[in-house]
Amino acid sequence: MKCKNYLFFRMEVLNQFRKIKYLGFILFSILVIQSCGEKQNGTKKDEAMNKLNPALQERIDLYAPVNITADISKLSANEQKVIGLLIEAGKIADEVFWKQTAPSAIPTRDSLRKLNTAEARQALDFVMINYGPYDRIDDSKRYLGIGPDKRPEGGNFYPLDMTKKEFEDFIKNNPQMKDDFESQYTVIVRENGLLKAIPYHKAYPEVFKIAEKLEEAAKYADNPSFKTYLIERAKALRTDDYFNSDMVWMDIRNSNIDVIIGPIENYEDAMFNYKTAYEAVVMVKDEVATKELELFNKHVKDFEDRLPYDKKYIRKQVGSGTQINFVNVLYFGGDCQQGTKTIACSLPNDPKVREAKGGGKNSMYKNMMEAKFDKIVVPIAEKLLEPEQAKFTNKKAFMTFVTLHEVSHTLGRGYVFGNDALSVRKALKERYSAIEECKADILGIYNQKHLFDMGIFKSDDLKKAMATYLPGLYRSIRFGAEEAHGKANLIQLNFLFEKGAIMKNSNGKFVINEDIFFEKCAELAKLVLTIEAEGNYKKAGEILEKYGKVNKDIQDAIDLLKSIPRDLNTTYKM
């Protein structure tokens, strides 16, 4: 019998792990053991090993297992073929994301896959949820494997030993390379001691396979506008030039199917917020839900005109091209699947496309929203809100808020006022995502008051909106205080507490002060909208420093929610 090397993963839980704030301070070592092929057999040993890791299991159990499904039986044979090919393309995009998120992500995952022990299977569950050994909702701390104690700020987009200063100094000394280095579609590497930018299509050869799958899907696409998009998106993936494909994507009409695929969001790059991460969403349109809430499309211009800040910042051309589509997700991959799951998006992010089309496309993931409302939002409301207000927590109000959140991403300025060459994203750098998410949230609730003033909403609708908004904030705060949505929600909570719009009663339950709530929402909206309009990096930092923190009241509330799932586990279900 030939001798082989077997990797055994051993987790040692510190004896005092229950006494420290962050459970699961786990020492995870990879031991290379010389063996003569003797298999590790025996259920009892596996069970004993599994008992060594209660802290890791606790992290896994924060995600409620959910089977997200969608009915495609009414789609044509060709449409179902298209979906199959898009899912294949999505799985490849998912693999690219694994490369981008952290240097240790793929080695840790693949090493665990080779093992067949209860301990390894448990560790793999954690890794598959978080896309690596770092806990997405515990400040990106490493829970197993080897590597930095926290997920690198720059993911795997930059050399691990590169500092922000080195990057910025290099650009100062080499201004001709600025565009390439700050591009959303380049990886920065170190070559012969010097920094170098490599385009995504060269750094990730898999993108050519994605392009081939999209072109194959286009052959079966009966909808002409969707067929054109698939062909244009394939070209974009091969060149890293996404403008034309984004423009065409906005022109898709009457298609039962849609897909978001490619490098989209900048959240993974916490160092500069420059680099985009790959993701894939394959979805089928829900016609009934789309028609129910299509009225919001008619009022985008009204929302823009009523933004509560200096009227000189109000854009004159906005809203004519804004779309709202309710869809059901068939496949999630990459950035939108890691850790906390996306429930909606407003794209394209390119402000040039939004300006040209008069808005963006808002895709609302109906089956994901419904699952999160039932399993997370309702239990939070019951724990935290005064019962007289908690009873107004409402699923349709949750979907309305999420929809208006995405619509609100299209409001305000995409470029700094007076400088059409400088996008707000670039001006605010790593502070942009949290400020932008705060803007979308606070306008998402504020604009419901406009709908009431216009006679579209009733007073009960406003009560439902407020009662659903607060537990929604705590839902996202538990994603982690360092995550963009978590920071955004901390800003809102702390600001509204400070202004008296949210209070605590003698029973420790939260009460929304309905008399001043929307007035104070307008104050916060003015603050963040002005920061974006002016591209005020310093002011953004001041707001994050003052309001983007977990205080005692917020922490006490979070502690009350320990029994409620943080998010959904769809890892093996989609």
466 and 389 Cβ atoms separated by less than 8 Å: yes
Residues 6+ apart with CB under 8 A from 554: 477, 490, 493, 494
**pLDDT score at 36:** 32
**pLDDT score at 146:** 77
Residues 6+ apart with CB under 8 A from 573: 65, 66, 67, 68
9 falls in which pLDDT band (50, 70, 90)?
Answer: very low
Q: Per residue in 146-172, pLDDT tens?
A: 789 999 999 999 999 999 999 999 999
Q: Is the pLDDT of residue 526 over 90?
A: yes
Burial class (CB in 10 A: 0-12, 13-18, 19+), 542: exposed
- Return the closest-CA partner of residue 443 out of 281, 303, 265, 566: 303
Give the total residue count for the chain. 574
Q: Is the pLDDT of residue 133 over 50?
A: yes
Torsion of CA 450, 454, 459, 462, to 10 degrees: -20
Q: Is the pLDDT of residue 16 over 80?
A: no
Pairing of strands 134-135, 63-65: unpaired
**pLDDT score at 40:** 38
**pLDDT score at 316:** 83
439 and 532 Cβ atoms separated by less than 8 Å: yes
CA gap 348, 303 in Å, rounded: 20
Q: 92 lies in a domain?
A: no
Tokens standing for residue 514: 């309905």
Residues 6+ apart with CB under 8 A from 362: 322, 323, 324, 325, 344, 345, 346, 403, 406, 407, 409, 410
* Planar angle of CA 371, 372, 377, nearest 5 degrees: 130
Lowest mean pLDDT among 36-50, 233-247, 287-301: 36-50
Range of the domain at 444: 286-564
Q: Is the pLDDT of residue 139 over 60?
A: yes
CA gap 11, 123 in Å, rounded: 9
* Residue 552 neighbours by CB distance under 10 Å: 7
**pLDDT score at 471:** 96
Cis peptide preceding 351, ω within 30 of 0? no
Residues of the chain with pLDDT > 70, as a percent, come to 90
Place of tokens 């609302």: 364
Q: 327 lies in a domain?
A: yes
Q: Is the pLDDT of residue 125 over 90?
A: yes
DSSP state of 342: P
CA gap 434, 414 in Å, rounded: 15
213 and 85 Cβ atoms separated by less than 8 Å: yes
Q: Is the pLDDT of residue 52 over 60?
A: no
Q: Per residue in 196-212, pLDDT tens?
A: 999 999 999 999 999 99
The phi, psi pair for 535, rounded to 5°, reads 60, 40
Pairing of strands 134-135, 141-142: antiparallel
Q: Which residues of 7-39 are buried (b: 16+ CB within 10 A; e: fewer)?
A: ebbebebeeeeeeeeebbebebeeeeeeeeeee
Q: 152 lies in a domain?
A: no
Residues 6+ apart with CB under 8 A from 410: 300, 318, 319, 322, 346, 354, 359, 360, 362
Q: Give this prediction's pTM.
A: 0.80
Mean pLDDT of 306-312: 96
482 falls in which pLDDT band (50, 70, 90)?
Answer: low
- Return the closest-CA partner of residue 122 out of 187, 215, 26, 41: 26
Report the Cα–Cα distance between both ends of the chain, in Å, rounded.
41
Higher-confidence position of 46 and 246: 246
Spacing of C-alpha 180 from chain mean position: 25
317 falls in which pLDDT band (50, 70, 90)?
Answer: confident
- Return the closest-CA partner of residue 513 out of 381, 380, 389, 387: 389
Q: 269 lies in a domain?
A: no
DSSP conformation letters of 214-251: HHHHHHH--SHHHHHHHHHHHHHHHHT--HHHHHHHHT
- Return the closest-CA partner of residue 14 out of 1, 34, 28: 28
Q: Is the pLDDT of residue 572 over 60?
A: no
Number of separate domains in the chain: 1
Q: Is the pLDDT of residue 14 over 90?
A: no
Distances 379 to 336, 506, 564 between C-alpha atoms, Å = 24, 21, 7
**pLDDT score at 477:** 87
* Planar angle of CA 529, 530, 531, nearest 5 degrees: 90
Strand, coil or helix: 130:
helix
319 falls in which pLDDT band (50, 70, 90)?
Answer: low
Q: 434 lies in a domain?
A: yes
Q: Which of 8-22, 267-281, 283-297 has the highest mean pLDDT?
A: 267-281
CA-based diameter of the chain, in Å? Answer: 81
Residues of the chain with pLDDT > 90, as a percent, come to 78
Mean pLDDT of 358-384: 94
- Give the bridge partners for 63, in sequence order: 567
The phi, psi pair for 324, rounded to 5°, reads -125, 120
Tokens standing for residue 291: 């028609």
**pLDDT score at 318:** 75
Q: 53 lies in a domain?
A: no
Lowest mean pLDDT among 29-43, 51-65, 88-102, 456-470: 29-43
Tokens standing for residue 430: 């790593």
DSSP conformation letters of 292-306: HTGGGGGGHHHHHHT
327 and 365 Cβ atoms separated by less than 8 Å: yes
Q: 103 lies in a domain?
A: no
CA gap 28, 149 in Å, rounded: 12
Q: How much is the mean pLDDT over the chain?
A: 88
Q: 52 lies in a domain?
A: no
- Residue 22, amino acid: Y
